[in-house]
């Protein structure tokens, strides 16, 4: 689920300015415009700018750059015009297809660069191939009367990025990030994509979690239960000091990096692959596939293969892989 990382909405528009030169412009005409903003810890997914066309201009592309200068007054992309420092890049937008009335133009196709929480960046759009001149260009909306965004605008001309105290109309979108401290029961229903640094001191329940992927980084001091977990991938990096139960686990892939002080139980585990990296101090049980019995951190018994290939590389912090080949044997490389 994409959320707004940072923005300065259309209601702030005070006027429009132009972009009418192929990038990088070596003259006074502008070939790139952008805004400084603050990252939220998620991954960039898209951005929007408020613009309209004149004539039949060429292609545009949005880029994410590192920030340099004083944020809010002198901020600008840390780049000389050769795009050597670009962090992420969108697909092209055909500016000739933009409306002649102002509209929010979306740039998608970013690779998903992680926007470090609190770090400053610049999101810009630059001209690409095609006609860019006095008869073919885009108007771009900005606020130069009473700008209130924490960052500031910048433009590229005369072979350099120049900061201004104006603000451009823009939106940056990215994945949601949650940084939570939970001291009581917590339930998530029908989630989408989560990346949590969590501290949980009581019961934690997730129902109908993502169908695609979920990443957890919690420290859990009480019961942790997952029902109907992802069908594709699930990653856990937990310190669990009490019972941990997974019901209806992923059918494709499950990775757990855990220090477990008590029992870990899985019912209906994946039919394709499981990777375990636990330090287990007591009993560890998998139902409907395998059963591992530990005592004092040592593997004692393995039963019920269910036609899978099992590779155990070491007694502690082992890498266990289950593939979909049938009628394979159990291999124990260390005891």
pLDDT digits (tens, 9 = 90+) for 302-316: 544 333 333 333 333
pLDDT, average across residues 159-173: 97
pLDDT in tens, 238-272: 566 666 666 665 555 555 555 666 666 666 555 55
Cβ–Cβ under 8 Å, residues 15 and 109: no
Ranges assigned E (strand) in 39-116? 44-54, 59-68, 76-77, 88-94, 103-107
Label residue 276 by pLDDT band (50, 70, 90).
Answer: low
Torsion of CA 140, 141, 144, 148, to 10 degrees: -130
Q: What pLDDT does residue 120 have?
A: 98
Break the chain into its structural domains and give their ranges. 2-175, 180-332
Structure tokens at 220: 């859990």
Q: Which of 137-146, 217-226, 306-315 has the lowest mean pLDDT?
A: 306-315
Does residue 325 surpass a pLDDT of 80?
Answer: no
pTM value is 0.58
Instruction: Give me the torsion for CA of 222, 304, 208, 111, rounded to 10°.
Output: 100
* CB-facing half-sphere around the CA of 271: CA atoms within 13 A: 4
CATH 3.30.70 given to domain 2-175? no
């Amino acid at each position: 689920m994409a959320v707004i990382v940072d923005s300065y909405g259309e209601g702030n528009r005070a006027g429009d300015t132009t972009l009418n030169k192929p990038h990088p412009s070596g003259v006074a005409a502008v070939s790139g415009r952008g805004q400084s903003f603050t990252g939220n810890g998620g991954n960039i997914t898209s951005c929007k700018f408020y613009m309209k066309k004149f004539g039949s201009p060429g292609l545009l592309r949005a880029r994410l750059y590192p920030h340099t200068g004083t944020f809010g007054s002198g901020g600008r992309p840390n780049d000389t015009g050769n795009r050597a420092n670009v962090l992420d890049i969108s697909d092209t937008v055909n500016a000739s297809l933009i409306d002649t009335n102002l509209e929010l133009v979306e740039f998608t196709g970013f690779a998903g660069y992680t926007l470090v929480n609190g770090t400053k960046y610049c999101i810009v759009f630059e001209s690409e191939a095609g006609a860019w001149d006095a008869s073919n260009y885009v108007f771009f909306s900005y606020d130069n009367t009473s700008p209130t965004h924490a960052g500031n605008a910048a433009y590229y001309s005369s072979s350099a990025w120049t900061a201004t105290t104006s603000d451009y109309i823009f939106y940056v979108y990215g994945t949601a990030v949650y940084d939570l401290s939970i001291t009581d029961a917590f339930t998530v229903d029908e989630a989408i994509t989560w990346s949590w640094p969590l501290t949980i001191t009581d019961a934690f329940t997730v129902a109908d979690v993502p169908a695609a992927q979920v990443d957890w980084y919690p420290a859990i001091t009480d019961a942790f239960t997952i029902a109907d977990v992802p069908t594709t991938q699930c990653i856990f990096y937990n310190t669990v000091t009490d019972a941990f139960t997974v019901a209806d686990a992923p059918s494709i892939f499950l990775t757990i990096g855990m220090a477990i002080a008590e029992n870990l139980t899985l019912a209906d585990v994946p039919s394709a692959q499981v990777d375990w990296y636990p330090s287990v101090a007591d009993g560890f049980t998998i139902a409907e596939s395998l059963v591992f019995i530990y005592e004092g951190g040592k593997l004692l018994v393995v039963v019920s293969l269910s036609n899978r290939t099992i590779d155990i590389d070491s007694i502690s912090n082992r890498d266990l892989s289950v593939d979909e080949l049938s009628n394979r044997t159990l291999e124990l490389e260390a005891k």
